[in-house]
Chain A
């Protein structure tokens, strides 16, 4: 059955979910970190480290889910290191983020050298498209459980930030560290906790890359998803549910090039691949302004100053 251009639409929608899932986890992690008033540019390194850890643990233990958890823990360690360094006076969180990005990727390449060839067990997928006869639709509706978990995390994170004492503390620390200190809140500890938890989510996002899609471990696995997350969170106005929609949008944009290739449009392959970066830049240009602060921004955040 020839479905022509509908094939492109279906492939983009399927790609939105498949490519968008790691974006979702990284942006939720970054969202939580930024809510506490820190920016973590090192999530790119965390993502690669998570991908390597997840793949290695899955290979040795035979359980991809154990790999996912260990990837999260590795991310948590890197996040804690980042925020611990930043808690010293005059240490710049953006610069430490760049260093963590280089350190995390270097460490992952070092430890991951033996895992480039062997094949680890893959995360299972859930078949939501069994009712359909169209193979493209079936492929697009093969959804990984991590995507569903990501939706739950997004809802839960939004609810907790809004309605729990813990969420209120994180927001106070992010809005004004002076006010938080006056209330007797342990500012540094809350930030370290938030960044470590954000690192945990980013690590899981990394394990999705190596254990589900594209399902391998190589040095070119991540291509800036961790960095784009920073801009994604700005676009999502620091709201976890908005992170979900924005991640899907970015996943769809990244899937556009390969989808067009399937109907024979092969020119400009690299340009299509650059669409997510161009979109991210365009969003920053549109949403930022020198005359007003952004709606919903945590005021301690250096990125918007």
Chain B
């Protein structure tokens, strides 16, 4: 029994410890920049979790992070490091908006369902390109998915400035508005849109898929040892493609929600770095879809506090980027600590 407890306790302790060390390092950083770290943390807490209004701000930012984190976390089960979440969001949002514009007369429910499906397929196909290149051409998936981000953004900019441009969007090239009737509403009793529910449901489904199905079990084996999986007859290539598609579909859904709940149009605001922040969420959560939910809320809070930090302490808005970078580096460093504590215990017994 205590061994089982250790197995669950070790990652928890290491992650909490890493976050504490990150907070100390970041505190030293803002102190060097001339701000009082204690006050900065108090401001961040107030801006992120202090009032119901700030909670709302935090959760709105957390919703797309849950989905983009899945873009990195699910391929992580196969040992792949895919960082193409940004491209999946852009493609999902772009094609969801285009889909809505092709069906002006349809009832809102039909439009929204189509948008979600088209967005998910667009994001899924986009991320699957990386998986295909990985499996059939042995192209490093990290680099290819990153290059695909830039290509997706170029495609978005091209289409919203040419074929699909709304002539009235002068300074900020965008597609036509999808129509107020087709916007996703808010959850009754709150000002939060339904994107948060999508994020949580997607994480729970992903967790069930990876931990309670044969498919998930096969993926974990393939991620542990590709040779062993191939000898056991597992279709490694198919696993890679399916997982990349599901991961990309999550990112595409995030893009669709950004269009259908916030902007109403596809334009370059889709490229809001949710994809890159999602990578951090996935790493901190150690790819576990259930752990993604609280980590996304935490990071959403950090990002929500950027505005107030600027006003209250005159710290630039890039402050939260520095904090994200520090957390990321400390978390990666903490990988080296796993197993060291149990080794100490074993030595103590013998």
Contact = CB atoms under 8 A, between A and B. Distances in A.
B333 A88 contact: yes
B321 A277 contact: no
Interface in B147-162: 147-148, 150-151, 154-155, 157-158, 161-162
Interface in A251-305: 267-271, 273-274, 277-278, 280-281, 284-285, 288-290, 303-304
Contacts of A163: none
Interface in B227-275: none
Contacts of A285: 133, 137, 139
Interface stretch (B90-98, B209-217, B324-332): B324-332
A223 B142 contact: no
A231 B158 contact: no
A110 B29 CA distance: 11
Given A85-B329, A99-B328, A107-B322, A303 B336 contact: no
Nearest to B162: A267
B322 A106 contact: yes
B140 interface: yes
A125 interface: no
B276 interface: yes
B186 interface: no
Given A103-B328, A110-B322, A288-B139, A98 B279 contact: yes
A92 interface: yes
Contacts, number: 132
Interface in B121-164: 133, 135-140, 142-144, 146-148, 150-151, 154-155, 157-158, 161-162
Interface of A is mostly: helix
A88 B81 contact: no
A8 interface: no
B43 interface: no
A106 B140 CA distance: 26
Contacts of B138: 288-290, 304
Nearest to A102: B325
Nearest to A302: B140
Contacts of B135: 290
B143 A231 contact: yes
Interface string B7-35: 00000000000000000000000000100
B150 A277 contact: yes
Contacts of B139: 284-285, 288
Interface residues of B, number: 43
Interface of B is mostly: helix
Contacts of A107: 318, 322, 325
B280 interface: yes
Contacts of B33: 110
A227 B143 contact: yes
A100 B322 CA distance: 10
B325 to A, nearest CB: 3
B335 A90 contact: yes
Contact of B140 (A81, A228, A284): A284
A270 B154 contact: yes
A96 interface: yes
A224 interface: yes
A289 B137 contact: yes
Contact of B142 (A41, A89, A90, A100): A41
Interface of B: 33, 81, 83, 133, 135-140, 142-144, 146-148, 150-151, 154-155, 157-158, 161-162, 276, 279-280, 283, 316, 318-319, 321-322, 324-326, 328-329, 332-333, 335-336, 338
